[in-house]
Amino acid sequence: MVYPLEFCPGLTNAKNPMLIMGLSLLVTLMLIVGFVGVTRGSRILRDLYVFLYIVVGLGSITAIAFSYTASKNFAKTLEQCLAHKLGRRWLSSDFLNWFQQKFKCCGVDNKEDWGGYIPLSCLGKPTDIDFGYFKVGCREQLSKFISAIAGIFIGGIFFWLVLLPLVLRDMTRPPSYEMVDTNDYSWLEEFRIL
């Protein structure tokens, strides 16, 4: 499910998703060029692979910088918005309701942030062991969620960093097979029976 962050203006002004989508396309192209270059042993494809690798590397550094500033701005804007609007009955958001139910949290720090009105999304399901209002605030849960996504992103970058030396090694290594003259059948003499 995708919910717009309509309850708080300024949260969706991110350039990072488009940059990451562009980098993903470049990485896909780079991988195709790398694999074809390895199978063909092409120097041109190797050089193109290295060029794309550098472009993706610079783009990744830019994406990391944007992500860092965007996460700081996102957290700050979200906290200001929630602190200003929580406790008001008119704050109804599909995203907030989904987030609180999904991550079993309530308010920014705890349910007291909502003032007198606590939404039903802060209430666990009757089948849950600890049925009642969630005691954990969403700030902590959001931080864990963003950290998990950042970990996946960093893992992808690590894999990408390891890939270059492996592909270049395979591109520059001479073939390990031996060329055989297909018209020479002298090797069959070994198997000849008297």
CA distance 10 to 184: 75
161 confidence band (pLDDT: 50, 70, 90): confident
What tens digit of pLDDT does each residue of 114-133 get?
Answer: 777 778 888 877 666 566 78
**Structural domain count of the chain:** 1
pTM: 0.50
What tens digit of pLDDT does each residue of 54-75 get?
Answer: 888 888 778 777 777 777 776 6
Residue 109 counted as domain residue: yes
Nearest to 67 by CA among 30, 23, 29: 23
Residue 61 counted as domain residue: no
SS3 for 60-123, per residue?
Answer: HHHHHHHHHHHHHHHHHHHHHHHHHHCCCCCCCCHHHHHHHHHCCCCCCCCHHHHCCCCCHHHE
Assess contact for 133 and 111: CB atoms under 8 A. yes
Residue 41 counted as domain residue: no
Residue 181 has a pLDDT of 62
Nearest to 75 by CA among 118, 4, 138, 1: 138
CA distance 53 to 39: 18
Does the pLDDT value for residue 185 go beyond 80? Answer: no
By CB atoms closer than 10 A (0-12, 13-18, 19+), residue 62 is middle
Q: What is the residue range of 100's domain? A: 86-169
What tens digit of pLDDT does each residue of 82-114 get?
Answer: 666 554 544 556 777 888 888 888 877 777 877
CATH code of the domain covering residue 125: 1.10.1450
Residue 1 counted as domain residue: no
> Rounded to 5 degrees, what are φ and ψ at 123?
-100, 130
